[in-house]
């Protein structure tokens, strides 16, 4: 089949490349000319392990092209962002725009698959919009069995940094507007997915995706709340968690400076927004995780006040370990807030950055490397658990005053992390 992927971002581009590798002719559509040009020249505009080599290969082979304008295809995969608005209401504008984009070229027998994280009911909305724009095509699931098109929801569940691997090995949950639609979409995923492909309804599949990320958010919130309580009680939270996790049915996640990225900090709000009265736990988890960043700023500020004037190393800006993605990063929030207050004392170490993000403009903070920080900074605030930070031996940091929000240095003699070793 010929395949069109709408949206060449963190999910769309790797998906387009993998489908192209499976032998299909793939056209990637994006609204940004720079993205289209970059892909057509065999390069990538995002960092993801092995993606550049794969895109180069499939573009050279002629199975992947990019364009600003849509063309007819047999399968359309929509992978555009679904952000939220100021009041946390989901914004499905880009999904509906994508439906408007493809509507004119749809033909009998086409399959449309939505992959963007979406509130429950979005795939049906997409179906309704297409029905309105193309009254000549019989759409599925609106009385009668509209067999001209197949429409399904199939969420991605890949972890940044492991996208190419997880796109192939993870199980997929494929929700059809009708069972027939799900089977049609399954035939597409079977081309490149080695994990299980399990079919369900579109609404269940939409909720499954939101549930996965809300589950993780709630569990991280538990760890973050525990870290604040341990701090008050002057206990080492890492020791508490390590020992509690020896219980066969307890598995507490890791506290940190807050929850970042564009999924876990966003998706739970979609559930809360659809049923505000019945979601106190999910809402509170979001609030606990956001508040953890403020707590880290407060504790770090106290540390800075204890040793006035000395330079302070903030280790890491990424939203999690070993990636170059700074979107919605609690580390950026914490370090930039400290920089706004303490200006030129702040040295940021981030091997994945070539310059400080805009949040640091005018603060006087500087980007430096880990060697210089070890030589010049008596205070270390660990915000990201990059391997390069984890590997710094005790001999190089024994005399530092450390606030280790990620628990990467359990042997540190002078630290605040839950208070015990402060
Ligand atoms: N974090 C903690 N403590 C932990 C685990 C994570 O503080 O114990 C923080 C991280 O540092 C980061 C944030 O949570 O700031 C999110 O990181 P993550 O690794 O949990 O997840 P993401 O955002 O990279 O990817 C998630 C994944 N979802 C789940 O694990 C349920 C991924 O499978 C999804 O595909 C992705 O969201 C998505 O696109 O929705």
pLDDT for 258-308, tens place per residue? Answer: 999 989 999 999 999 999 999 999 999 999 999 999 999 999 999 999 889
Residue 420 pLDDT: 37
Residue 250, helix vs strand vs coil: coil
16-32 pLDDT per residue, tens = 999 999 999 999 999 99
Instruction: Answer yes or no: 314 catalytic.
Output: no
Q: Is 261's C-beta closer than 6 angstroms to any atom of ligand 1?
A: yes
Residue 47 pLDDT: 85
Nearest CA to ligand 1 atom 3: 254
Residue 414 pLDDT: 60
CB 210 within 8 A of CB 270: yes
Residue 144 pLDDT: 61
For domain 2-211, the question of CATH label 3.40.50.720 is answered with yes
Residue 413 pLDDT: 82
Tokens matching residue 186: 């399954």
Instruction: Answer yes or no: 263 catalytic.
Output: yes
Percent of the chain with pLDDT over 90: 91
Give the single-character DSSP code of 11: T
Q: Is 103's C-beta closer than 6 angstroms to any atom of ligand 1?
A: no
Domain ranges within the chain, ordered by starting residue:
2-211, 234-416
Tokens matching residue 292: 């953890």
Res 365 pLDDT > 70? yes
Cβ within 8 Å of residue 61, ≥6 positions away: 20
Residue 422 pLDDT: 38
Res 417 pLDDT > 70? no
Q: Is 159's C-beta closer than 6 angstroms to any atom of ligand 1?
A: yes
**Can you tell me the mean pLDDT for 331-335?**
98
61-80 pLDDT per residue, tens = 999 999 999 999 999 999 99
Q: Residues 184, 209, 292, 333: which is the catalytic one?
A: 209
Cβ within 8 Å of residue 283, ≥6 positions away: 268, 272, 276
Distance CA 119, CA 116 (A): 10
What is 234-416's CATH topology?
Answer: Rossmann fold (3.40.50)
Percent of the chain with pLDDT over 70: 97
Do the domains spanning 2-211 and 234-416 agree at the CATH topology level? yes
Distance CA 133, CA 21 (A): 33
211-240 pLDDT per residue, tens = 999 999 999 999 999 999 999 999 999 999
């Amino acid at each position: 089949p010929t395949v069109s992927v709408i949206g060449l971002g963190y999910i769309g581009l790797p998906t387009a490349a993998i489908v192209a590798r499976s032998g299909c002719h793939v056209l990637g559509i994006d609204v940004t000319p720079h993205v289209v040009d970059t892909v057509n020249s065999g390069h990538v505009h995002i960092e993801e392990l092995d993606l550049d080599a794969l895109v180069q290969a499939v573009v050279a082979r002629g199975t992947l092209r990019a364009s600003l304008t849509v063309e007819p295809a047999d399968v359309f995969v929509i992978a555009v962002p679904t952000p939220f608005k100021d009041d946390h209401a989901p914004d499905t504008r880009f999904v509906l725009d994508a439906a408007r984009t493809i509507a004119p070229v749809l033909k009998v027998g086409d399959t449309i698959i939505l992959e963007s994280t979406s509130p429950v009911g979005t795939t049906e909305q997409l179906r309704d919009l297409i029905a309105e724009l193309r009254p000549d095509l019989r759409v599925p699931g609106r009385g009668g069995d509209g067999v001209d098109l197949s429409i399904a929801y199939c969420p991605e569940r890949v972890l940044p940094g492991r996208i190419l691997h997880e796109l192939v090995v993870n199980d997929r949950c494929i929700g059809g507007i009708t069972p027939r639609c799900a089977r049609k979409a399954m035939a597409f995923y079977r081309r490149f997915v080695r994990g299980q492909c399990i079919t369900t309804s579109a609404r269940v599949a939409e909720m499954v995706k939101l549930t996965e990320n809300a589950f993780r958010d709630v569990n991280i919130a538990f760890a973050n709340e525990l870290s604040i309580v341990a701090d008050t009680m002057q206990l080492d939270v890492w020791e508490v968690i390590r020992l509690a996790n020896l219980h066969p049915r307890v598995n507490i996640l890791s506290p940190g400076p807050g929850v970042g990225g564009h999924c876990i900090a966003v998706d739970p709000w979609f559930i809360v927004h659809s049923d505000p009265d019945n979601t106190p736990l999910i809402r509170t988890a979001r609030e606990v995780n956001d508040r953890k960043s403020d707590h880290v700023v407060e504790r770090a500020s106290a540390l800075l006040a204890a040793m006035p004037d000395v330079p302070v190393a903030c280790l890491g800006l990424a939203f999690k370990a070993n990636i170059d993605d700074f979107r919605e990063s609690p580390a950026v929030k914490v370090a930039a807030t400290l920089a706004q207050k303490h200006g030129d004392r702040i040295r940021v170490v981030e091997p994945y950055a070539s310059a400080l993000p805009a949040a640091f403009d005018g603060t006087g903070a500087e980007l430096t490397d880990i060697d210089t920080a070890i030589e010049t900074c008596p205070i270390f605030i660990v915000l990201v658990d990059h391997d390069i930070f984890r590997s710094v031996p005790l001999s190089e940091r024994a005399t530092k005053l450390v606030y280790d929000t990620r628990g990467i240095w359990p042997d540190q003699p002078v630290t605040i992390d839950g208070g015990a070793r402060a």
